[in-house]
Structure formats: structure tokens, C-alpha cells
Chains A and B, each alone.
Chain A
Amino acid sequence: MRFFKIITARPWLGEETAYSAEFDAALGADGLATLKTKRMGLFIFIGVATALFGLFAVAYYMRMMMGGWHMLMEPLILWPNTLILMVGGGLMQWASWLSKQGNVPRAKQAFFAGGIAGLLFLGGQLLAWQELIELGCYAEVNPANAFFYVITGLHGLHLMGGLFVWGNALFKTMGDASPAAITASIELCDYYWHFMLAVWIAIFALLVVT
């Protein structure tokens, strides 16, 4: 394994290959982080966010076994919402593929549509909240409700962060950004959309199963 190879090196001998291209990759000629660097930053962030949602799942599970817990009736609208987010992920992937094929104008359209799907999903989640509130399923009457609000709320906030970046990228693609920069932005959003989708499916599965 590479990790073990790295940490068993013997630096005092000076025998290492010290000139690999790995060392030049972080910043581009413009002084800004390259795609490789941004991708790594994004992956680390995804790791942190995974820890966050995973912990909520654990807390959910532990709290479920204690008193005052009533089953939550998931609003039906969550199903179409899931579908919308899936479509969004698909669009993003398509955009990423297109842009790598060199078809940037097409890619921009798909990218735009993918973001809109994200927005629609957020709207749908709000409807789900509204439905629960109208039914009197407040957070304080049932911990299952409270978890629902907190977890979907945090997921929504994360998605909003993604949409912010998406909006920025959209702005950039309308200007005179290079195709490489556009491809890079699209690729990063693509990863993040898939992550958001995966988290949502995991949350939804947890809610439906319990």
C-alpha cells in the first residue's frame, strides 16, 4: 500500500525520488488552486460531511430505542423529490461528460438544468416540511419529527452551499472563462451533486425503514 510505503521511507538516507511531478500540481500559472487541488479539497470536505451525517444517523438510531418515540409518517412528496434529485445528478454527470467531449455549449445547458433540479428538490423539501407542520407534526412532540427536520434541514443547507457554488460557476461560464475552467467547475459540481444524492438516499432509506 502506498501509505505504508510513504511512512516507512527513511528520510535520513536521502534515497528518495525527490523530483516527481507531484510537487508542481497544486497551483496553476494564475496562482489559483488547480483542479487537482480543488478536487482534493472537495473530497476532504465530503469526508467531513459524511462524518456529520453518519453521526446523525447513529444518534437517530440510539434515540429511537428510548422513550417517547413515535413512528414518523413520511410525506409522500419525498418520493418525487428523490426522483428530482436523481435526475439532477444524472444531468450533472451528463454535463461533465459532454464538457469532457468538448461540447461545452451543450454541457452548459445540462449543467444549468442540473442546478435547477437541485433548486426544485429544495422547494419540494419545503413542501414536505409544510405538510408535516399542517398535520401538527411539530419537532417538539416527537423526536422522530425533530430528527426529520434537523437532518433534512442540514442536508438542505449543504445543498444550498452547493447551489451557491453552482451559481458562481454559472456566472463564470457566462463570462469568458476558458473551456478547461468550465470543465473543472462542472466536474466539481458533478461530484458534489452525487454526494448530496447519496446522502439523501441514505437518509431517506433510514426514514422509510424505521
Chain B
Amino acid sequence: MLLTHSGEYVQLLTPRGERVDAPGFDPWVADIGSAELRSLYEDMLISRRLDTEATALQRQGEIGLWPPLLGQEAAQVGSAHALRQSDFVFGSYRENAVAYCRGVDLTTMISVWRGNANAGWNPYDISMAAPAIIIGAQTLHAVGYAMGCDFDASDDISIAYFGDGATSQGDVNEAMVFAASYAAPVIFFCQNNQYAISEPVGVQATKPIADRAPGFGIPSIRVDGNDVLAVFAATAIAADRARSGNGPTFIEAVTYRMGPHTTSDDPTRYRSDDELAEWRAKDPLDRVERYLTRIGALDDTETARISEHSDTVARELRAAIRALRPPEPLSFFDNVFAEPNRHLARQRSQHEAYLASFDGGELS
């Protein structure tokens, strides 16, 4: 059932930027010529730029918290590009590069981390669910959505993004049971970034995570998650299987979270500089840059253009934050229910009266 064998992983682009053969996977990237690869590179670079900018904005007090995706650009951008816009994405809090690829409005994205909103973008605008902070919950949602696609006889599919830590949750395991039972057109995309906050992946799994899925009746693929081509190929294979009625596929993208868990975290407490250096050498952007340069697809003009584009997006992010106005204070009473609710209307009205009693400076 394994599409790859235990322990091995698929790689199409080595860290040194060499394109290597991967029979069974190569055909899935046949359409990715140098221009397409350059555009994947561009999205990865912009994702990194957005991420660095958001981290800086947190340091400057413009936002409260940020979960960096530094190091996971290939896993997110490669998989996002293998989907259709009508497919539905269920992510955690870290899939901001996926959101970028789906055309998220940056203001809505950043409003969550500014503390203005709980969910940010409208899920139906970009076919991407509200970010899930409760670890693993979204995997069940993805399966249910996929079941709905199947009931509708549509060839849309869904994808669940989750981490290595999440694989320990009951929800994720139940999601695999449901997906297998109903042959749901869903992709389980696990970014094994080696850590769940401070806990190394060994706490969650003593064998490669990809080995687990076949026990549920779900074929799995283990890929070099820092190789954008391998990730694209694996996701394209899984999407094709789902669309053609062959049910779920599990992908383990082996990657590394090069930054802290969030801007509140101090990774020096639980991992070494040597380990970080080892993974820096496997950086997902460097290898594409090396490859593109070698084949002559990334000259100075292109480099300058991409860098200018990323500057523009970074400026847009800053502008998006500056444009955020303090929300209307009592709007948190809105939308608790879809239908009118008298109890809540009454409570809100009382609080309005309370606030009004301050007019004139003092509670009179």
C-alpha cells in the first residue's frame, strides 16, 4: 500500500540543486518547465519575505504573535500549487504560505495575529477554512468536506494540513478511519517539521509517520518536504487519486521548522545550533535557486524582478496592518448565532447602557 517504502523519501531536487530521477514521480512534474519552477520559487521567496516581515512586525509590537513557517516554504507552496482553486483547504495556524498561494487578502490574514479577529479571511473567498488552533481538529473537517464532494458527484477534493504533533491526536486517527471507510477524496498532508513546540517527533512516533497510514488502509508517500518538486509531484498524485475515485492518500513531507514555534518561543531550550545548521544546508529555497541559476533560468534581471515583487508584498503587509482600525467595541456580540437571539441582544443592550453611563467622564 505504501507508494514509497518505509524510511525512504522522494527527492527530485537535491540540496545542491541537482535534478535527480524519481521514476513514478517525474511524469507528474513534466509540465513544470523553467518558467513554472521560477514561479514556484517566486512564491516561496515571497512567503519567506512575508514570514520575516510578520516576525519583525511582532517584534515591533504591531502584532501580538506570529507562527513562523521559515523552512517550510517548499512543503506549503509545492502542495498548494498542485491543487485547484475549487478544492478546499483545511489548515492549522501555520499554513500562511498556502493562504498566500490561494490569494488571501493580507489584511484578513494578519488581523488574527493582531488580535482583531479569530478567523480572519472568509473561507469561501479562497476555499480555505478558518485556521485551526485546536490541534488536529481540521483533519476531520477535511474528511467530511470530501465526503460531501463525493456525495455531490463533484471532482473537487479537500486537503488537510497538520503537523507531526497532531498525528497523536484522536481526531487525526479518527479522520483516517472515516476517510478510508468512505474512500473520501481527501489528502492528508503532514508537515513533519521535527517538532511539536519543544517535543521532538520521536515523542509522537517511533517509526516514520508515513508508515502509519497503510494500517488504516490509506496509501502513503514520504517526500523530502524541502524539495518543492517532490512535494508538487506527491500532491499531484494524491489529488489525481482522489479525483478519480481512489480515495485518500497520506503525504508525509519531511521538513524543518527553522524558526521558533511562535514568536513567544525560545527554541534554544530544546534544540542545538548544530541541528539547525544541518537543516540550513537543506534550505528549500537555496536548492531551487542553484538549479535555476545553473540552467540559466534565473538571471540578474529575473532576480531583481522577484526581489522587487517580494518588497512590494512586504510593503502591502505593513500597509495592511496600518490600515487595520480598532474594531467596533461591541461587535463581539455579533454573529454568535446566525439567527436573532433575544438573550444576547438583552445582554448587549445592558452593556451599551453601561458604556453610555461613562459619558461625561465618570460613572454617574
Q: Do A and B come from one complex?
A: no
